[in-house]
Amino acid sequence: MTANIPGAPQKRGLSKKTIKENLIAYSFIAPNFIGFAVFTLVPLGFSLVLSLLEWDGANPMNFIGFGNFEHMFKDRQFWRALLNTFVYTAGVVPATLVSALALAILLNQKVRGRNFFRTVAFFPYVASLVAVAAVWNFIFSPSKGPVNNILHALTGLDFKALPKWGASKDWAMFTVIFFSVWKNMGYYMVIYLAGLQGVNPELYEAAELDGANGWQKFRNVTVPQLVPTTFFVLMMLIISSFKVYDIFINLFAGGDNQLTDYTRVLVYQIYNTAFRSLSYGYASAMAMVLFLIVLGITLIQFRGEKKFGE
Amino acid sequence: MKKLLSILIAATMLVCLFAACTTPAPAVTSSAPAAVSETPVSEAEPEPEPEPEPETIDLKWALWDIDLTVYYQPLIDAYVAAHPNVTIEMVDLGSADYMVLLSTQLSGGADFDVLAIKDIPGYVNLVRQNHLEPLNDYIASAGIDTSLYGGTVEQIAIDDQVYELPFRSDFWLVYYNKALFDAAGVEYPSNDMTIAQYDELARKMTSGEGDAKVYGDHFHTWRSTVSLFAILDGKNTIVDGTYDFLAPTYEWVLAEQNDGICQDYATLKTSSTHYSGVFFNNQTAMLNMGTWFIATQIAKIKEGESKSTEWGVVKYPHPEGVPAGTTLGTITGLSVNANSTKKEAALDFLKFATGPEGAAVVASTGTIPAIMSDEVVASIASVDGFPADDASKEALKVTKAYLEMPLHEKSADIETILNEGHDNIMTGNMTIEEGIADMNTRVGELLGN
């Protein structure tokens, strides 16, 4: 991920050559950094300032200190959105991780049509979200969808007694987690496949000589060897789960582009507060909370990378 | 380049912040628009030319759904025919979240001149943000007679200042499928139906199973299709803050849903079913919907998409003791961007489109204009494809129309809460009592703040 920057200063007194090399190096970094500064750093700083203000986007700003954060503590909708985001993360992260690993191990075997199946597993990740969400909504449609029709045929239960999936407070989270795992596991499978290529085959040979069976080899060779990969996947999954928005909107929002208590996530709440309620300050305060969460996870990742990165 | 500009603006705002932070943000006031000229946004723009070149004026009109809307082009054609030096470019921002998008674009300095205004909550937000040109002076100087609009202009004034003029004024009707009624041997709905009679008729008209099932009526997933029956008696409004009066209406519709008289809300919502398809494919005997559907239905019959070729309209069902012709109304207006550099030309187009000439053009497409007269009603009823029966013509006469969302400073937030409550009740995630209690609490908190 991180590139080695040539010409990093070693001594105090910089020679002309070093300065020149440094400038060249900076000039290479500049395009990226300028982009980062313009599109990320400045907006982030602006958002930080906004979180202390009351602002509707047009009228003069009003400094209210930590008023937005105080309001946040009492705001039931915010807590609900935060809770939903945590529930979603708690469901999606382990499920995606395990499915991606299982898929990667299966498709790492020398089986016929391996590349075909790898493509099949990767396809949901590249497929258009809007299109596949529409298909899933149809599949899980409470009375017309195949899922409930099969359940109806198998159990004989009336449609009213069957789960309403995406439309039900009890099943909506399950539906979206299931969808998200299916959609994204292919991507993490590819990362795991890359990780598996890095496992030294001699370790398996040694384990075999010691009489290890398949499970023992997996448990004592594959898993420890994949720790750095797993760590990376874990962090990426957690961060993307906290930032989730698109999947919820496409699965649940319907015509009025609105989510309810059971499906409202943090990013949606931020969007709604900023652009529908025109409370840019309060929305920025919520965005700061999200930022701190993601920042915390990223810091853990940086530490872990040092530990596992070898 | 634009990004750079916005950075500069952001930086300027940061500086301005310290100057402005002690001034409280004003509520919606008529004097607020004056502040616009002081914001850095307009400073960054070139000075408006004193007199626009008389030869060519290019106006930009922000609107939604060009392909689905039949009257934009005729309005432009009619105006340009009389003003050959003007061109009008339409910018389609899409219908989902149109008002949010418009507000964001205007905050970013978009160079629209004329703005189509889709709903009241979005209109209030734009006024709060000082994006709309106040129209009182223009109305006075151009001699616009606001009484022609049947009282709607007064309903959209904010602190006595008007920021939009309506060019469409839709109201709600019942569309029915004559072929299905004939097949069932049931008499057509009448122009004077109570809600109870409507329910009775819907139950009579429900038949069949599976794909062949015909539902008695159809409630689209919008909150307005269900809960607004409750405001027709004029005793409550949707911005009051207490919603116990909605209970009987929800009980009625949930009972229909439970008995399979109308389609299940959860299914409709998850499958994003559009109401038009349900009516086109003979799946429902009746549909309560706004007059905007007239033009669509006529056009889709001609294109062969609508298989419900024998149809009619009648007046909206009303509560007991309320006169027939009481219905819901919604207005679509035009505004001028307060930062437009071609205000004069934009205002002139606005005057044309919202005035009697524009009304005639709009009516000729089967759409209800904001200015209603006997000629306009006759003109719509004579549109090729409009049902020929007398009852359908009579249905176009409105006794009283309640705005779907009355003007309120917090209408956008109220609407969000009520829509969520509607969703919770209709999906069964909350009982009617829980859903209404939730609305009462949350809107109460909002209005108390």
pTM comes to 0.80
**Level-2 CATH architecture, domain B171-328+388-448:** 3-Layer(aba) Sandwich (3.40)
Q: What is the pLDDT of residue B137?
A: 95
Q: Are A105 and A117 in contact (CB under 8 A)?
A: no
Nearest to B107 among A54, A58, A143 (CB): A58
Tens digit of each residue's pLDDT (9 = 90 or more) over B429-447: 899 999 999 999 999 999 9
Cross-chain Cβ contact B131/A58 below 8 Å: yes
Cα A21 from chain centre: 38
Query: What would the 3-class secondary structure string for A214-267 be?
Result: HHHHHHHHHHHHCHHHHHHHHHHHHHHHHCCCHHHHHHHCCCCCCCCCCCCCHH
Per-residue pLDDT, A310: 52
Least Cα separation, residue B414 to chain A (angstroms): 10
CATH number listed for the domain at residues B56-170+330-381: 3.40.190.10
Q: Could A63 and B130 be called an inter-chain contact, meaning their C-beta atoms sit closer than 8 Å? A: no
Question: Which pLDDT belongs to residue B19?
Answer: 36
B290-317: average pLDDT: 93
The mean-pLDDT minimum among A10-24, A132-146, B41-55, B331-345 falls in B41-55
Residues B10, A55: C-beta atoms closer than 8 Å: no
For B74, residues 6+ apart whose C-beta sits below 8 A from its C-beta are: B361, B362, B364, B365
Is the Cβ pair A257, B97 closer than 8 Å?
A: yes
Q: What is the mean pLDDT of residues A68-73?
A: 93
**pLDDT of res. B54:** 61
Average pLDDT over residues B182-192: 95
Interchain contact, B270 vs A62, CB within 8 Å = no
Please, what are the domains in chain A?
Answer: 1-50 (no CATH), 72-308 (1.10.3720.10)
CA B382 from chain centre, in angstroms, equals 24
What are A90-108's pLDDT values in tens digits? 999 999 999 999 999 999 9
What is the arithmetic mean of pLDDT over A266-273?
A: 94
Question: Is the separation of the CB atoms in A133 and A250 below 8 Å?
Answer: yes
Greater model confidence, A144 or B343: B343
Contact B270 A137 (CB under 8 A): yes
With 50 as the cut, is the pLDDT of residue B80 above it?
yes
Any A CB within 8 A of B270 CB: yes
% chain B with pLDDT above 90? 65
Residues in A closer than 8 angstroms to B39, CB to CB, are: 58
Cα atoms in the Cβ-side hemisphere of radius 13 Å centred on B293: 22
Domain with CATH 3.40.190.10 in chain B: 56-170+330-381, 171-328+388-448
- Work out the pLDDT band at B16, boundaries 50, 70, 90: very low
How does pLDDT run across B241-277, given as a tens digit for each residue? 999 999 999 999 999 999 999 999 988 888 888 899 9
Residue to substitute from B8, B270, B440, interface A, most A β-carbons within 10 A: B270
Q: Angle at CA B119, nearest 5°, toward B113 and B123?
A: 55
pLDDT in tens, A122-132: 999 999 999 99
Please give the pLDDT value at position A5: 52
Split at pLDDT 50, 70, 90, the class of B49 is: low
pLDDT score, position A280: 92
Q: State whether B23 and A60 contact (CB < 8 Å).
A: yes
Q: Which residues of chain A are within 8 Å of residue B130 when distances are taken between CB atoms?
A: 58-59
Contact list in A for residue B428 (CB cut-off 8 A) is 164, 168
- What lies within 8 Å, CB to CB, of A139 at 6+ separation is A145, A146, A147
Average pLDDT, chain B: 86
Two tokens, residue A212: 């290890």
What lies within 8 Å, CB to CB, of B284 at 6+ separation is B177, B214, B215, B216, B217, B218, B262, B263, B278
Please compute the mean of the pLDDT values over residues A63-87 and round it to a whole number. 93
In this prediction, residues B364-386 reach a mean pLDDT of 87
Please give the pLDDT value at position B48: 53
CA dihedral B371, B375, B376, B379 (to 10 degrees): -170
Average pLDDT of the residues in B368-394? 89
Mean pLDDT of the B5-29 span: 39
Most confidently modeled of A227-236, B192-201, B395-404?
A: B192-201
CA distances from A139 to A125, A146, A247 (A): 18, 5, 16
pLDDT mean across residues, chain A: 89
Q: Over 70: is that where the pLDDT of B161 sits?
A: yes
**pLDDT at B26 > cutoff 80:** no
Helices (H), B84-135: 98-107, 120-128
- Chain A: residues touching B (Cβ < 8 Å): 38-39, 42-43, 46, 49, 53-63, 134, 137-138, 140-144, 160, 164-169, 254-258, 260-262, 272, 275-278
Residues of B in contact with A63 (CB under 8 A): 17, 21-22
